[in-house]
Amino acid sequence: MRFFNRIATVLTTLFGISIFVFIVLRVIPGDTITSSLGIETGVLTPEQIQSLREYYGIDKPLIGQYLSWITSFLSGDLGFSYSTGAPVWELTKPALLVTTQLALFGTILGVMMGVAVGMFSARKPGSARDFAGQFFGLLALAIPGFVLSTTIVTVMANRFQYFPNGYEYMTPVEDLSMNLQQMLFPSLVLGIAVAAPVMRTTRSALLETVDKDFVRTAYGKGVKPRIVRLRHVLRNSLIPIVTMTGIQFGYLLGGAVIVEKIFALPGMGRQILDAINKREYATVQSSIMVFAILFVTINIVTDWVYRKVDPRIK
For residue 17, state whether it binds other proteins (rule: CB under 8 A): yes
* Residues between 201 and 260 that touch other proteins (CB under 8 A): 250-251, 253-258
**Segment near other proteins (CB under 8 A); pick from 20-28, 57-65, 84-92, 304-312:** 20-28
- x/- contact string, 272-311, with other proteins (CB under 8 A)? xx--x-------x---x--xx--xx---------------
Considering only 13, 34, 72, 181, the residue that binds other proteins (CB under 8 A) is 13
Sequence-ordered list of residues with C-beta below 8 angstroms from that of 23, at least 6 positions apart, any chain: none
CB of 21 to other proteins, least distance (A): 8
CA 259/CA 182 separation, integer angstroms = 12
**Segment near other proteins (CB under 8 A); pick from 51-59, 109-117, 150-158, 228-236:** 150-158
For residue 150, state whether it binds other proteins (rule: CB under 8 A): yes
CB of 64 to other proteins, least distance (A): 21
CB of 137 to other proteins, least distance (A): 10
Considering only 53, 123, 261, 278, the residue that binds other proteins (CB under 8 A) is 261
* Residues between 157 and 176 that touch other proteins (CB under 8 A): 157-158
CB of 295 to other proteins, least distance (A): 5
Binding stretches for other proteins (CB under 8 A) = 9, 12-14, 16-17, 20-21, 24-25, 27-29, 138-139, 141-147, 150-151, 153-154, 157-158, 250-251, 253-258, 261, 269, 272-273, 276, 284, 288, 291-292, 295-296
